[in-house]
Amino acid sequence: MTNLSYFEHSQSRAVEAYPQDDVFVTIEMMRKIPSLEIFEAHSFRVQQIAFCVLTLFVLGLLLLLHTAFAFRLGEPSTPVILALGISFSLKFLEIVWLQEQANEITEKTARRETALSIVGIFILAVLLAFLTDRDDNPYFVLLAIPILQCAYQFGLVPTVLTILSSIVTMFWWTQHFFALHPPSRPTEVLEVGMISIIYGLIGILVWLLVHQVKQQQSRLYESLAALQSAREQLVNEEKLAAIGRLASGIAHEIRNPVAMISSSLATAANIKLGEADREEMVQIAAREASRLEHLTTEFLNYARPLTPQLSSIFVNDLLSYTVDVVKAHAAGRSIEVIYSPIENISVEVDSAQVQGAILNLVLNGMDAASSPGSVALSASRTDALVRIDVQNTGDPISDQDLLRIFEPFYSTKPGGTGLGLAIARRVAEDHGGDLWVSCNQKGRVIFSMTLLGVPGEITAQGVLYG
| pLDDT higher than 70, residue 300 | no
Report whether pLDDT(375) > 80.
Answer: yes
> What was the pLDDT predicted at 308?
80
**Phi and psi (nearest 5°) for 18?**
-135, 65
Q: How far apart are CA 187 and CA 174, in angstroms?
A: 11
Residues 112-125, mean pLDDT to the nearest whole number: 90
| pLDDT on residue 56 | 92
Q: What is the mean predicted confidence (pLDDT) over 163-181?
A: 91
How many Cα neighbours within 13 Å face the side chain of 184? 14
Mean pLDDT confidence for 135-149? 89
Give yes or no for residue 445 having a pLDDT over 90.
Answer: yes
Helix (H), strand (E) at residue 373: strand 373-382
User: What are the Cα distances from residue 129, in Å, to 134, 143, 169, 406?
Assistant: 7, 12, 11, 74
pLDDT of residue 73: 81
**Whole-number pLDDT of residue 202:** 92
CA dihedral 36, 37, 40, 42 (to 10 degrees): -120
DSSP for residue 452: E
Inform me whether the pLDDT recorded for 416 exceeds 80: no
* CA pair distance 177, 136, nearest whole angstrom: 10
Res 462 pLDDT > 80: no
CB–CB of 356/369 below 8 Å?
A: no
pLDDT of residue 162: 93
Element (H, E) at 376: strand 373-382
CATH number of the domain at 254-303, out of 1.20.1420, 3.30.70, 1.25.40, 1.10.287? 1.10.287
CA dihedral 31, 35, 36, 41 (to 10 degrees): -140
The tens digit of pLDDT for each residue in 429-439 reads 888 899 999 99
Confidence tier at 456 by pLDDT (50, 70, 90): low
* 204 pLDDT higher than 80: yes
Q: Are 389 and 439 in contact (CB under 8 A)?
A: no
What's residue 455's pLDDT?
Answer: 65
Sheet containing 434-441: order of strands: 335-339, 373-382, 385-392, 444-452, 434-441
Q: Over 70: is that where the pLDDT of 257 sits?
A: yes
* 349 pLDDT above the threshold of 70: yes
**64-102 residue pLDDT tens:** 988 898 888 888 889 999 999 999 999 999 888 888 876
Which segments of 420-465 are extended strands (E)?
434-441, 444-452, 458-459, 462-463
Bridge pairing between strands 444-452 and 311-314: unpaired
Digit-coded pLDDT (tens) for 315-339: 998 898 888 888 878 888 888 999 8
String of DSSP letters for 67-94: HHTHHHH-PPPHHHHHHHHHHHHHHHHH
Res. 465 pLDDT band, cuts 50 70 90: very low
What is the model's pTM? 0.45
Looking at residues 126-143, what average pLDDT do you find? Answer: 89
User: Across residues 154-162, what is the average pLDDT?
Assistant: 91
Q: Give just the sign of the alpha carbon dihedral 271, 272, 274, 278.
A: negative
Q: Please enumerate in sequence order all residues whose Cβ is within 8 A of that of 354, keeping only pairs 6 or more positions apart, or say none.
A: 318, 347, 427, 431, 451
Which among 51, 280, 232, 245 is positioned nearest to 150, based on CA atoms? 51
Q: Residue 323 in contact with residue 331, Cβ under 8 Å?
A: no
Neighbours of 455 (CB within 10 A): 12
> Higher-confidence residue: 343 or 449?
449
What pLDDT sits at residue 250?
Answer: 66
Select from 3.30.565.10, 2.60.40.10, 3.65.10.10, 3.40.640.10 the CATH code of 311-463.
Answer: 3.30.565.10
Nearest to 20 by CA among 411, 401, 446, 413: 401
CA angle 450, 451, 452 (to 5 degrees): 135
pLDDT of residue 169: 93
